[in-house]
Structure 1
């Protein structure tokens, strides 16, 4: 039987072992929550001014364009990190104590006791992020310092309101000054944060907390 000698003129495309080519220029995917947690620790440890975009992207394992696309700029990332810190156990313990304890004395005793433990916990940076992250900034970053100051002053207002209630309920004498007492506790807490950064251990901070409480409730 004769065979058909005509050539197959169908166009054939060579196959490649690599398969279809992937689109180029796509940013590498990353876990945004993990990246934010990493940024929070860096700002907490080093402060706003000393933490550069290079520091952040190296720790996050991303490129600067990915950081800007996900968070905006450094300041917006910082503010989001502060908000995340405020929702964490390290940031909510004061509000929880004020809301849950039956007396002002119990609330402030718990705040100071937990601050002594949290500020010296070796599993994370020492001190309080909102207290220590912008203690020294250049004029161009003054807005960052004002942002943190506003947060601290908001806490001061919450302290004052709780202490005013203590006066109304007879827990504190009628001539007690809630604003001055609120400032006293804020001063003690901020001092505890700085002392922890300077190397103080929990025992030292607990001793300072006891003295601070006795100054307000000497017989309690």
Structure 2
């Protein structure tokens, strides 16, 4: 007869990917500042000591969450648009349209970490704020490189400023995120994006 006595020893290993996904959902829904260790341990199914042992402190955990998130289709929506769309205007349009849908998603756990981190509240931790800013700057740099190529290929006029255009799109992203946090609808954000892109410079390439 098999013994039903629970064997002593080490507890079963936790599912790291599952725990990280739970932390990601929580950070995406509430932002870094509003998320507490107690909330994280409850969502991840870990005790505080186990969380610290597996992921380090809250800041380190957030860094890992963001690194994984940026490689996901949602987190990498800017880079996906730049790589998939055949024109710079198409990439800028898709970026803003995807952002409008993402920022107004009814499921706050499915929103952006880098453009909405903090759910509208400023990140007070300087290191975390710098981390998020660097990720946003990486998007700007990628857009600038794509727009340089568009200018070289004649899609943009020779006097177009790729860095300025990248900053233009980045500013729109920040504005759309801010308006979404204030309750703007997807339709409103799409209309704003279309209005802004009406001023996009045209080159000679067809």
Give the TM-score normalised by structure 1: 0.82
CA contact (8 A) 2:28 2:113 kept: yes
Provide the aligned length of Structure 1 versus Structure 2: 200
Instruction: Give the equivalent residue in structure 2 for 1:10.
Output: none
DSSP 3-state at the match of 1:132: coil
Question: Could you give the per-residue CA deviations for residues 89-146 of structure 1, whole angstroms, max 9, x where no partner exists?
Answer: 21122212111211101111111111112222223447521123255233xx201101
Question: Could you give the per-residue CA deviations for residues 27-67 of structure 1, whole angstroms, max 9, x where no partner exists?
Answer: 56432212111111221222212211111001222211111
CA contact (8 A) 1:163 1:178 kept: yes
Q: How does 1:55-134 map to 2 (within 5 A)?
A: 55-125=39-109, 127-133=111-117
Structure 1: distance between partners of 2:67 and 2:59: 12
Instruction: Give the equivalent residue in structure 2 for 1:160.
Output: 144
Task: Find out whether 1:136 has 2:137 as its counterpart.
Answer: no
Larger Rg belongs to: 1
Structure 1: distance between partners of 2:6 and 2:39: 36
Segments of 5+ residues of structure 1 without an aligned counterpart are 1-16
Instruction: Give the equivalent residue in structure 1 for 2:169.
Output: 185
Question: Could you give the per-residue CA deviations for residues 132-182 of structure 1, whole angstroms, max 9, x where no partner exists?
Answer: 3255233xx201101111111111111111111222122122221111111
DSSP 3-state at the match of 2:159: coil
Q: How does 1:208-219 map to 2 (within 5 A)?
A: 208-217=192-201
Structure 2: distance between partners of 1:90 and 1:191: 19
Structure 2: distance between partners of 1:35 and 1:125: 15
Q: How does 1:27-66 map to 2 (within 5 A)?
A: 27=11, 29-66=13-50
Calculate the aligned-residue CA RMSD, in Å: 2.3
Instruction: Give the equivalent residue in structure 1 for 2:8.
Output: 22
Structure 2: distance between partners of 1:190 and 1:20: 54
Query: 1:217: Cα distance to partner?
Result: 4.0
Give the TM-score normalised by structure 2: 0.87
CA contact (8 A) 2:147 2:162 kept: yes
Segments of 5+ residues of structure 2 without an aligned counterpart are none
DSSP 3-state at the match of 2:199: helix
